[in-house]
Structure 1
Amino acid sequence: MAYVIAQPCVDIMDKACIDECPVDCIYEGPRKLYIQPDECVDCGACEPVCPVESIFFEDDVPDKWSDYRKVDTEVFAGLGQLGGASAVGPLAADHPLVSAQAAQAA
């Protein structure tokens, strides 16, 4: 199990969660932040600092955003464990679910 970043993060990306993450497992995509589930240690430090309340423990994602339970996992399926977001830099592309959404005002 891991934490998940859901729909409210799309086009907002406050990034306070990145500063709080002790294991550097939150990666930046073009429109959304993503948690690498295999690198996440389930500490929960990211959740309370998110100003748009988009971070949830995997089992606690609200039903209206249930598709986001798989988004972070699918983004990293082909990338694997990258060893920390700060060393990698921004991801090249968002998940198709995110890319298909209309832009949100920040």
Structure 2
Amino acid sequence: MTYVIAQPCVDVKDKACLDECPVDCIYEGPRKLYINPDECVDCGACEPVCPVEAIFYEDSLPDEWAGYLTAERDVFAVIGTPGGASAAGPLAEDHPIVGGEPVPVG
């Protein structure tokens, strides 16, 4: 099991969760943050600090955002387990699910 960052993070990326993560498993994409499921230790430190309530334990992820679990798994299936977000740097692109979200106007 792992934590998942869902739709409310898209185009917000507050990053308060980055400071709380003790294992540096939260990676930054162009429009959203992603939790590496292989690096996450399920501590839950990220969840309460998210100002938009975008972080959910996998079993608590609302049905309408179920695709975000797939998105996070897919992203890291491609790039693997770099061993920490700060050393890896930002992701080059977002998962297509995130890319398909409307871009805010204004």
TM-score range, shorter chain: over 0.9
Q: Percent identity?
A: 69
Equivalent in the alignment of 1:22? 22
Equivalent in the alignment of 1:69? 69
Equivalent in the alignment of 2:4? 4
TM-score, with normalisation over the residues of structure 1? 0.96
Task: Tell whether the 8 Å contact from 1:5 to 1:35 is kept in structure 2 after alignment.
Answer: yes
Tell me the matched-pair count: 106
Distance of 2:104 and 2:37 partners within structure 1: 26
Residues 36-55 of structure 1: pairs in structure 2 closer than 5 A: 36-55=36-55
Q: Which runs of 5+ in 1 are unaligned?
A: none
Task: Tell whether the 8 Å contact from 1:11 to 1:105 is kept in structure 2 after alignment.
Answer: no
How far the C-alpha of 1:105 sits from its partner, in A, is: 6.1
Distance of 1:66 and 1:55 partners within structure 2: 12
How far the C-alpha of 1:90 sits from its partner, in A, is: 0.4
Distance of 1:44 and 1:30 partners within structure 2: 24
How far the C-alpha of 1:104 sits from its partner, in A, is: 3.0
TM-score, with normalisation over the residues of structure 2? 0.96
Equivalent in the alignment of 1:103? 103
What is the CA RMSD across the aligned residues, in angstroms? 1.2
In structure 2, relative to structure 1, the CA distance for the partners of 1:105 and 1:54 (3 Å cut) is farther
| 1:62-81: CA deviation from partner (whole Å, max 9, x where unpaired) | 11111112111110101111
- Structure 1, 25-34 or 69-78: larger mean CA deviation: 69-78
- The letter for the 2-side match of 1:45 is A
